[in-house]
Homo-oligomer: A and B are copies of this chain.
């Protein structure tokens, strides 16, 4: 069983080794720039850890993990555009549109989504690509609510904007491991708690969302409760879930 840090290294190596559609030509550097920006790789690591804990092979799950990171990166590139959040920096570097121009960043985002689906379609089971696309559409629905201020229901907004891709990270890991659908249910229940934890932690760090609604202390309690439930879900699984427990801890500790 590989530790989370080893899985992260595997993700980084895999992303660096990716070849893109040759027709993209000189657009490719814009994809690589955004992809190799030192993110935490939480989604792909979660996917790999779930796949291995569920009895699957890490190597076999790498394309699914890569697809998740590409979808996440696509959403960041488009989110940063002036027409959206207008963020000029991303992780301490110029955003893609600042580095390459708006038109190129737009197309790079489009291409990242296309390449993500292409990776998900390398599996015989079309269910992987289906789940990824459904999650992507949910995420887009969340982004729409975010930019239009259609955010009466913050829980729904964040559930869509970040929760759906989190849930898909667990789902794709299970599918890549070949776990029958009937056996996936308790694993997915774990993923839902982890996704909730991630969102609440994010809100605490940004002092918005749930943290703005119920206050920092209230949000800390929500995060702690979600972490507790996630650990309980893991304990109920007849599998070595030590790495997944490590992921829960590393999320929770950020607001410890």
Contact = CB atoms under 8 A, between A and B. Distances in A.
Contact of A143 (B83, B107, B136): B107
B78 A106 contact: yes
Interface in A113-141: 113-115, 117-118, 121, 124, 126, 129-130, 133-134, 136-138, 140-141
A10 interface: no
Contacts of A130: 118, 121
Nearest to A138: B23
Contacts of A81: 83, 106
User: Which secondary structure dominates where chain A touches chain B?
Assistant: helix
Given A106-B84, A129-B121, A150 B25 contact: yes
A21 interface: yes
Given A83-B106, A133-B121, A25 B144 contact: yes
Contacts of A115: 137
A147 interface: yes
Q: Which of A27, A84, A111, A140 has the most CB of B within 10 A?
A: A140
A23 B121 contact: no
A104 B147 contact: yes
Interface hub of A20, A103, A145 (most chain B Cβ within 10 A): A103
Interface of A: 20-21, 23-27, 74, 78, 81, 83-84, 97, 101-107, 109-111, 113-115, 117-118, 121, 124, 126, 129-130, 133-134, 136-138, 140-145, 147-148, 150, 160, 164
Given A23-B140, A81-B83, A110-B140, 8 more contacts: A21-B134, A23-B142, A24-B137, A25-B144, A74-B110, A83-B102, A83-B103, A126-B126
19 contacts: A21-B137, A21-B138, A23-B160, A26-B148, A27-B141, A74-B110, A78-B107, A83-B101, A83-B102, A83-B106, A103-B147, A103-B148, A104-B148, A107-B147, A109-B110, A115-B137, A117-B117, A118-B133, A118-B137
